[in-house]
Amino acid sequence: GAVVSQHPSWVICKSGTSVKIECRSLDFQATTMFWYRQFPKQSLMLMATSNEGSKATYEQGVEKDKFLINHASLTLSTLTVTSAHPEDSSFYICSAEKYGVLSEYEQYFGPGTRLTVT
Partner 1 sequence: QKEVEQDPGPLSVPEGAIVSLNCTYSNSAFQYFMWYRQYSRKGPELLMYTYSSGNKEDGRFTAQVDKSSKYISLFIRDSQPSDSATYLCAMSSSGGSYIPTFGRGTSLIVHP
Q: What is the binding site for partner 1 (CB under 8 A)? A: 4, 6, 32, 34, 41-44, 46, 49, 91, 93, 95, 97, 100, 102, 104-112, 114
Q: Whole-number minimum distance, CB 93 to partner 1, in Å?
A: 5
Give the chain's length: 118
Q: Kindly tell me which of 43 and 54 has the beta carbon lying closer to partner 1.
A: 43
What does the DSSP assignment read for 35-101?
EEEE-TT---EEEEEEETTS--EEPTT--TTTEEEEEEETTEEEEEE-S--GGG-EEEEEEEEEE-T
Q: Whole-number minimum distance, CB 16 to partner 1, in Å?
A: 26
Q: Kindly tell me which of 13 and 46 has the beta carbon lying closer to partner 1.
A: 46
